[in-house]
Amino acid sequence: MPEGDTVWNTARVLERALAGARLTGSDFRVPQLATTDLTGWTVRESASRGKHLLLRLADPDATDWTLHSHLRMDGAWRAYAPGERWTARPAHLIRVVLRSPDAVAVGYHLHELALVPTADEGTLVGHLGPDLLGPDWDPQEAVRRLAEHPEQSIGEALLDQRNLAGVGNLYKCEVLFLRGVSPWTPVRAVPDLAGTVTLAQRLLAANRGRWTQSTTGVLRRGGTSYVYGRRAQPCRRCGAAIRKDELGERVTYWCPACQPERE
């Protein structure tokens, strides 16, 4: 599931594959960029902001541009050696191919693919709250933004990227379990919002640099989460059956015993 840590890792993959390189070819397979050709452009750096990927480029006139993409639920970037087979996903999911002398980067099922002047990046990501894995992570600002909507459920509020950027459904469920907070709790009734966002940041940060997402410290299959994806299985803490219910537009996993509802 692409959450902030997956996107951060993906940005590093693109950085290693392309940063500093002059592109020898590009192939966009989306209508809005079908005529765009980045041949001769230089890749400056690859960055992430919340769940958004920002590939920063310089055109031959040294003007800075940003190629934006979003993975949502199913997108991915992969880097290959020249001549290597592209095996990650079916070819019809390819949205863009970027070639350098040393690497080929292939973007699969990307969303919101757009090329904008780097000076205008704010139009793409300016609405986002503090980035949990960004250099400017600011837990107090995240708490302030959360507290602006006191009646919203904490489960929905943590997923709203305008409050804080990077938490997806997996980390939402796991953080609330670890804090003993029901996902339906209104933000105003959450005992320690600062502790909640700080824990979310720590869980994401712990998974940087690997593709297996674990909140338990266990990397073995079936052991990586407390509640996420574990409907009807026994709670690792109390043995009660983990529940899966709808909350807003998403499902949520929770332990009814460890996460009592409060008002």
Q: Which residue stretch of 73-81, 84-92, 200-208, 249-257 sits at the interface with Zn ion (rule: CB under 5 A)?
A: 249-257
Cβ 259 to Zn ion, closest distance in Å? 7
Dist CA 100 CA 120 (whole Å): 26
DSSP assignment of 14-57, as one string? HHHHHTTPBPSEEEE-SGGGTT---TT-EEEEEEEETTEEEEEE
Binding status of residue 241 toward Zn ion by CB under 5 A:
no
Query: For Zn ion, which is the closer residue by CB, 194 or 240?
Result: 240
Q: How many CB atoms lie within 10 A of CB 184?
A: 18
Residue nearest to Zn ion (CB): 235
- Report if residue 187 touches Zn ion, rule: CB under 5 A: no
Specify the DSSP element, H or E, that contains 67.
Answer: strand 64-70
Judged on CB neighbours under 10 Å (0-12, 13-18, 19+), 144 is middle
Q: How far is the CB of 255 from Zn ion (least distance, A)?
A: 3
Amino acid at 116: V
Q: Which of residues 218-237 bind Zn ion (CB under 5 A)?
A: 235, 237
Q: Which of 218, 238, 241, 251 binds Zn ion (CB under 5 A)?
A: 238
Active-site amino acid positions: 2-3, 51, 250
Distance CA 121, CA 237 (A): 44
Chosen residue from 73, 194, 241, 257 binding Zn ion by CB under 5 A: 257
Binding residues (CB under 5 A) for Zn ion: these are 235, 237-238, 240, 255, 257-258
